[in-house]
Copies of this chain bind each other. A is one copy, B any other.
């Protein structure tokens, strides 16, 4: 039975999953990249950059799990780009470059319709105006026997967890305080929603926790 997952989701020790002041120059927000120090040196990430190096081990295992075996992705609009309101320019195709890391149908939540955008490497961005329910239905159909990943951002992850759509959550707790940013857990009662810790793998760069219900 295919699952809906949040995976490779980095959180600071004080519970922020993105920094403030997200922009074209800082897609993760100010200081947001500090939460990904476990990810950047992994072989999985280095291969995404076209490099044939990088570390293996538990961080890499979680990095690989967070990108592989997903048949479709769902993203909040901020994960596509910083544009708000009507699409001013169909030429700009998101901040992931020509070959985004999804390599699968990727459903972008937005209030503003736009034709699908086919990228290199198998990623096609579909713009969904019917909300998370429509996105989940289309993503599940597209994914077939594979899992669906809620790719972010923080508010999309929060809303899909709150609505009971998410079967499994992999968090990478970074050993840094971010101070401010988008709080992941605020108002989210993971226990009442039925989640329990099913994996706990600490490394020198992050503490990996998998919650499931």
Contacts and interface: CB of A to CB of B under 8 A. Distances in A.
Interface in A160-213: 171, 173, 175-180, 183-186, 188-193, 195-197, 200, 202-204, 207, 209, 211
A191 B207 contact: no
Nearest to A31: B191
Nearest to A185: B14
A119 interface: no
Contact of A189 (B171, B180, B193, B204): B180
A13 interface: yes
Interface string A4-26: 00000000011100000000000
Given A13-B209, A15-B15, A31-B191, A197 B185 contact: no
Contacts of A188: 14
B179 A192 contact: yes
A176 B176 CA distance: 18
A190 B191 CA distance: 26
B202 A207 contact: yes
Nearest to A193: B179
A204 B199 CA distance: 11
A195 B175 contact: no
Given A13-B209, A14-B15, A191 B177 contact: yes
A133 to B, nearest CB: 25
Interface of A: 13-15, 31, 171, 173, 175-180, 183-186, 188-193, 195-197, 200, 202-204, 207, 209, 211
